[in-house]
Structure 1
Amino acid sequence: MVYIEHQDWTTRSIHMWSAKYGSPFSPLTRALGQLDDPIIVGVVARTVGWSIACFVGLYVVTIWFVHWLLGLHGVAAWATDIIGSIGASFLALWLFLPVAAAIGTMYFDTIAFAVERRFFPYLPPPRGAPAMEQLWDGLAVACRVLLFNFIALVLAMILPGAGLVLGWLIAAYAIGRGLFVAVAMRRMSRNMAESLYRSRRSIVLTSGAILAAASYVPLLNLLIPVVGTAAMVHVLDVAVAAAPIHSRSFS
């Protein structure tokens, strides 16, 4: 894989994208097309399973906490159960993507390996940033998505309509940058990954915007941590292919 000197290669990147993939949606469609891969299916099953388990636990704990805090009985308790159930459901919906992203970070390497085995079998084994640094960055992705989800939620309540659009733009940055840097760090240091992101920001954020939009689609949002990671492997391929030959450093 390659490291790119910090220069403005945006035009070259766009031309390279057109030559290799034809459409900004191609990384996502290729990632979705790999859902027949047993490795990807296994990761999806584990990610969704752990996410559901987390939200069942969250739902139960929220209802119990409301009962314990208010200590109500009879009709008041019944009404509180309904309100608490609605609140717990919204809380679970809001936290779903960050929690799924956090769980998905445990499988970054597995997902990327499956994509590279099918589409880029000529690549050497990855030798990037230290494992703990990669793990920390993956958890940072989940925390960033959680924070921006909260900001998006506040904006949506304050500015209906406009808040939804702003929330989408915020999620595009969080998902795009976070997943791209995490995937790139498998094959380069953090500094190199950050430099590559800055020089290919337009491509990365376009893919982030597409993934953020997909995260609003029921059921498809369950797949975003896995499919998004797979898609970013293709985006990374475009980013490094757009580099001048003299600035490439393989690992």
Structure 2
Amino acid sequence: MPVALFLALGQIGDPAFRRPLLIGVLGAALALGLLIWGAVEAAAWAAAGDAAWLSWLAQAAGGAVGLLLAWWLFLPVAAAIASQLVEPVARAVERRYYPGLPPPRGASVAAQAAFGLRFGLRLLLIQILLLPLFFIPLVGFVLALLVSAHALGAGMVTQTALLRMTMPEARAAWRRQRLSGWVLGLLLALMALVPILNLLVPVLGTAAAVHLLHRSGGS
């Protein structure tokens, strides 16, 4: 499975990757920038009427909390946005590595868009629900990472499979690729923890999922 990710990394400079990458990053940055701003403003409101230094401290704490949340929630927000732009990435991978494929006849555009939105929202909800695990040293972080890896792998593989499969077929493809897909999700989840590198995760995940499906004969 790492081969699929290495192949995706080797194509990261492809022009077809730029638009989904840019839109995903800008959209997520805007949403999470608003989150940080909201956290600072909420802290300032809570400290209104207190001494100036206490108000400043509250705003700094609010900003720190907002920044932490933005770091943890960046991936699902970016994934939800980029999931609406999976096709150009997948087509670029297929043109380069699998030129003999027949024209795709997958799920409808509406079904693909709906799944992408559900995938992003589900991942966002999971990331939020996993936040309390960070209060359990080490074990909590590992558990959160493993759960995120499964959700991320399942979403990426299924979303990509829908380009050439119906929904039942895409779900069956995920079941066949569950282990490899989970490993892919784990690698992507680890990448998502690294600033700057996390910007590439939605696009790399899509490209790697294409390789995973085609190299296994799953599509």
TM-score (norm. length: structure 2): 0.91
Does residue 189 of structure 1 match 2:166?
yes
Contact 1:152 1:168 in 2 (8 A): no
How far the C-alpha of 1:229 sits from its partner, in A, is 0.8
How far the C-alpha of 1:103 sits from its partner, in A, is 1.1
2: CA distance, partners of 1:202 / 1:59: 36
Q: Deviations over 1:150-194 (max 9, x none)?
A: 24322221x211112111211111011111011001111111111
Structure 2 counterparts to residues 60-79 of structure 1, below 5 A: 60-72=37-49, 74-79=52-57
Q: Secondary structure at the match of 2:100?
A: coil
TM-score (norm. length: structure 1): 0.80
2: CA distance, partners of 1:139 / 1:128: 17
How far the C-alpha of 1:69 sits from its partner, in A, is 4.8
Q: Secondary structure at the match of 1:124?
A: coil
Return the match for 2:94 from 116, 126, 141.
Answer: 116
What is the match of residue 92 of structure 1? 70
The AA in structure 2 aligned to 1:133 is: A
Does residue 224 of structure 1 match 2:181?
no
Contact 1:151 1:167 in 2 (8 A): no
The AA in structure 1 aligned to 2:117 is: L
How far the C-alpha of 1:70 sits from its partner, in A, is 4.6
1: CA distance, partners of 2:49 / 2:202: 40
Contact 1:196 1:239 in 2 (8 A): no
Larger radius of gyration: 1
Contact 2:40 2:63 in 1 (8 A): yes
How far the C-alpha of 1:201 sits from its partner, in A, is 1.6
2: CA distance, partners of 1:30 / 1:210: 14
2: CA distance, partners of 1:215 / 1:240: 28
2: CA distance, partners of 1:131 / 1:43: 17
What is the match of residue 152 of structure 1? 130
Q: Deviations over 1:182-213 (max 9, x none)?
A: 10011111111111211222222222222222
More divergent stretch after superposition (113-122 vs 61-70) = 61-70
In the alignment, structure 2 segments of 5+ residues that lack a partner are none
Identity %: 36
Structure 2 counterparts to residues 193-204 of structure 1, below 5 A: 193-204=170-181
The structure, 1 or 2, with the larger RCO (C-alpha pairs under 8 Å, 6+ apart) is: 1
1: CA distance, partners of 2:193 / 2:152: 13
Contact 1:105 1:139 in 2 (8 A): yes
Contact 1:55 1:92 in 2 (8 A): yes
2: CA distance, partners of 1:72 / 1:143: 38
Does residue 143 of structure 1 match 2:132?
no
Q: Deviations over 1:69-92 (max 9, x none)?
A: 553352232121111111111121
2: CA distance, partners of 1:232 / 1:61: 35
Return the match for 2:154 from 152, 177, 194.
Answer: 177
The AA in structure 1 aligned to 2:207 is: A
2: CA distance, partners of 1:226 / 1:38: 12
In the alignment, structure 1 segments of 5+ residues that lack a partner are 1-23, 242-249
